[in-house]
Amino acid sequence: MDDQHAARTTIRELLDWHSFQVCGDAQNGKEAVEKVVELKPDIVLMDINMPIMNGIIAATEIRRIAPTTKIVFLTIHDGPGFKAGTKLWAHGFVPKSAAGTELIPTLQRVAGITAHEKTIECPHCKVRQKVQMAVRARLSQTGQQYISCLNCAGEFEVTLPNKIVAGPFTA
């Protein structure tokens, strides 16, 4: 939920890349509240400065109508006063200036996703590397993934639980 279209598009692409399902977006706080009623999301990513209804008022209303929906503020405000002031409504707070490094870990924490490490060996160049896999609590799945080694560009298939999110191999 951000009043800037470019910001919403960039955030959506980042979340899609990290396998978060984005069910909707809004350009103001009033629309955000309406979307929560309609879409019933698990997590709402909310800016503070928005027209018609600001993020704090929208968060208050969302907490009233959808108490199980978690709210993470993503805002240009990064002072300790803003962070402390949002604790009543938010499960997380990320300054936009730190979104590149803090947003995904914050959302993973709020969503109950943890990362597990596994060592994979490339069958072509024999490089052994640790990879991080996203594991959503109680929803583990094992499946085949076709990956590429960044060391030798060789491609191969592995059986792994969940999705590789970090390491020298790309899925």
Cα 58 to the chain's mean position, in Å? 20
The order of strands in the sheet holding 128-136 is 113-121, 128-136, 163-166
Vertex 134: Cα angle to 129 and 94 (nearest 5): 110
Ordered structural domains, the chain, with CATH: 5-111 (3.40.50.2300), 113-170 (no CATH)
Question: Model-level pTM?
Answer: 0.62
Render pLDDT for 93-147 as a digit per residue (tens, 0 to 9): 888 887 778 888 888 888 875 555 667 788 898 887 766 555 554 444 556 677 7
Do 24 and 42 form a contact (C-beta atoms < 8 A)?
no
β-bridge partners, 119: 130
Q: Which of 89, 83, 87, 84 is nearest to 71 (CA)?
A: 89
Distance, in Å, from the CA atom of 74 to the CA atom of 109, rounded to the nearest integer, reads: 15
- The mean pLDDT of the chain is 76
Render pLDDT for 145-159 as a digit per residue (tens, 0 to 9): 777 777 787 887 877
Confidence of residue 160 (pLDDT cuts 50, 70, 90): low
Distance, in Å, from the CA atom of 99 to the CA atom of 112, rounded to the nearest integer, reads: 19
Beta strands 142-149 and 169-170: pairing type? antiparallel
